[in-house]
Chain A
Amino acid sequence: GESVGLHLPTLSVQEGDNSIINCAYSNSASDYFIWYKQESGKGPQFIIDIRSNMDKRQGQRVTVLLNKTVKHLSLQIAATQPGDSAVYFCAEITKDTGNQFYFGTGTSLTVIP
């Protein structure tokens, strides 16, 4: 099946710095992407999404960038806080796979106080 993967399995950043988490996908027909945050022992929590007709979308302290040319997705977290420490997953969804979600392996973000 199609794969969605993350470049960096772990990431450590200093509190207050910006974080960038990357994700590569392989299905050029993917038309919807979501970033989820999962804290230890909890279910994934929706952070932000983006559709393929956009290349950037901003939320509160988070920005998602989509580069369809190289099939790359990134999540930027501004002024990272200790509460941002979690595993972050990207997910892609395509109509031609029956709207199934495919999740990447996840990146563990650790914020150093």
Chain B
Amino acid sequence: GAVVSQHPSRVICKSGTSVKIECRSLDFQATTMFWYRQFPKQSLMLMATSNEGSKATYEQGVEKDKFLINHASLTLSTLTVTSAHPEDSSFYICSAQGPYRSTDTQYFGPGTRLTVL
């Protein structure tokens, strides 16, 4: 299957700082990338859908100014958590969809554990 990587895998930061998480599709071109958030023992919550070269589409209740998403190329999307606070602590997972048509399977990254002190 396709390979998706995330970096960093784990980050601890102070309240008020910004954190950038990278998502890369390593062996295919991802026309669409998704960002999810997951709390312990809960399902994935879609935050936003990111298409290469265009603005991300955010789900209801997700602050676009707080969670900045950039999808600059077909293999890279970034999520920046701005002015992070303890309530932003979570497991963030990206996925990439492709390579041939929009109904292709989403392949997930390994996740990034964010802890805000």
* A interface residues (Cβ-Cβ under 8 A, vs B): 31-32, 34, 36, 41-46, 49, 89, 91, 93, 95, 99-101, 103-106, 108
Q: Is the CB of B46 within 8 A of A43?
A: no
Cβ-based interface call for B110 (8 A): yes
Chain B residues within CB distance 8 Å of chain A: 1, 4, 6, 34, 41-44, 46, 49, 91, 93, 95, 97, 102-103, 105-111, 113
Q: Which residue of A lies closest to B94 (CB)?
A: A43
14 A-B interface contacts by CB (under 8 A): A32-B103, A34-B106, A41-B113, A42-B111, A43-B4, A43-B109, A45-B108, A46-B1, A46-B105, A99-B97, A99-B103, A100-B49, A105-B43, A106-B42
A36 to B95, CA, bound (A): 12
Number of A-B contacts (CB under 8 A): 49
Given A42-B110, A101-B34, decide whether A89 and B105 contact each other with a Cβ distance below 8 A. Answer: no
Residues of A within 8 A of B108 (CB): 36, 43-46
